[in-house]
Chain A
Amino acid sequence: MATTVRFEDVLDDVRAGEPAACERLFNSMARRVAGFLRAQGVADPEGLTNEVFHRVFSSIDRFDGGEGQFRAWVFTIARNLVADERRRAARRPWTRRALDKVVAIGGDVEEEALDQLGNTWAREILQALSSDQRDVLLLRVVSDLSVKETATVLGKTPGAVKTLQRRALASLRRHLRTRGEHR
């Protein structure tokens, strides 16, 4: 059974290049990575998820640690890719606008994306948070990371993460109250 397999064993098999172990690891984590990327508002969550795992499998030899460290490592890569995409979008804003226009015309992709995260309303509320607050909330809620793992991903102390998540929750409550409705 898959539940009886220790993560360390799977990781060893991945290091050894066993395809089945790599596929198992991909299937167990790709969903949360894609959810994190989608909630961050990236244009192509599936493509970026594949990029994350391409980097993971390319440099798995350099990784040393347990399950918690591995998850933190994977989401660190994902977060760095999000930052890269945002930098690219900032340099070429016309690309993002054109893509939004295409999505708006097509409709299907946008609908599919919004279905994954509820609706535009939820995403707008998340986007209203500061970048650090949003990262903390998504890593804790969507990626299901612990405080320590989140601190590793963000390069902060656990205390700073706790402070950030409290502020994020407070800000979230304020935004929800301002909007006055929640499904």
Chain B
Amino acid sequence: MSGRADRISVTSLGHLDDPAVERLLRGETPEGTGRGMTAVASFLLDVRLSARDEPIPAMEPRVAALIAVEPAVPHVATNPRRTARTERANGFGERMRKIMRAIAAILTGKLIVGAAIAVASVGGLQQADVIDIPGLPDAAKPGAVEVDEAPTDPDRGFGEDVGGERTSPSASEQRREGADGGTAPAAQSGLDGNGATTDTGGDSSAISLDTTSATTAEASTEDGDDTSADTTEDASEVSDERCPGRSGEVPGAHGAGGAGPPGSDDGGHPSCSASGT
């Protein structure tokens, strides 16, 4: 019986009211409690007295420096409260200045980035011909000038001559056109020294190069005939003279080599291809 009551009291101490618990915490034994409660009260009293005997810890320099108000500028005011308020106000002002500087820096950065994005957008739209701002240069036009104005004959483009899409020119016209069409780039290539242009007009440069190579190869097979073909000579004329397909002497003679498309690098004669043979 006592064992059950002891278990109940051990788990909850329900038989003790609040004042009894308070007395127990102060180290006093409440009336009517058992020997176990006396031991608890004695233990708690020891703990309380030990805490009271605790020496006051020495204040560390960092704490002393924190509470010691030392104004940076000597002042005539002797009121320490006022000094402390001033210190706090200065600290607050410093924080505010930092915040304002940070906000200004952020706004400036956003302005710069926004302006850069706007300039890039306007430039891109101008390039794409979506908008037309008179003051801005149009970068698309110089490229078109290079392509369109390179031929000497403004009526004919390279693509017309080389591609052979013209339907029924006469043979002489074809030759002439082919020659004319190839003259300018050939001359250009000769002057340039490399004959390599960058645009679709590069077909013409390929023509001049192929023409030169074909000329050289043919000249080597004709026992030195016209082997002194000068590189400064009009390459189109050379190709026009030496192309057997043009003269009709050997119809389809360059079929083997001319299988490729005009202006291709497979050795085909572009001028002949232009004539539709």
B68 to chain A, nearest CB (A): 5
Least CB distance from A139 to B in Å reads: 10
B18 shortest CB reach to chain A, Å: 7
> Who on chain B is nearest to A35 by CB?
B51
Q: What residues of A have a CB within 8 angstroms of the CB of B88 in the complex? A: 17, 61
Binds A, one of B40-48, B150-158, B167-175, B225-233: B40-48
Shortest Cβ distance from residue A30 to the other chain B in the assembled complex, whole angstroms: 5
Q: B83 within 8 Å of A by Cβ?
A: yes
Contact B60 A50 (CB under 8 A): yes
Main SS at interface, chain B: helix
Q: Are A166 and B59 in contact (CB under 8 A)?
A: no
Output the least CB separation between B91 and chain A (Å).
10
Determine which of B25, B39, B52, B68 lies in contact with A176 in the assembled complex, contact meaning CB atoms within 8 Å. Answer: B39
Q: Chain B residues with Cβ under 8 A from A142's Cβ?
A: 47-48, 51
- A59–B4 Cα distance when bound, in Å, is 52
Residues of B close to A53: CB separation below 8 A: 59, 63
List A residues at the B interface (Cβ < 8 Å). Answer: 13, 16-19, 22-23, 26-27, 30-32, 34-36, 38-39, 45-47, 49-50, 53-54, 57-58, 61, 116-118, 122, 125-126, 137, 140-142, 162, 165-167, 169-170, 172-174, 176-177, 182-183
23 A-B contacts (beta carbon < 8 Å): A16-B84, A17-B69, A18-B84, A19-B68, A23-B59, A32-B51, A32-B54, A34-B54, A34-B57, A35-B51, A35-B54, A50-B57, A54-B60, A57-B63, A57-B66, A116-B51, A118-B46, A122-B46, A137-B25, A142-B47, A165-B25, A166-B13, A173-B36
Measuring CB to CB, which residues of chain B are less than 8 angstroms from any residue of chain A? 9-14, 16, 18, 21, 24-25, 36-37, 39-40, 42-44, 46-48, 50-60, 62-63, 66-69, 80-81, 83-85, 87-88
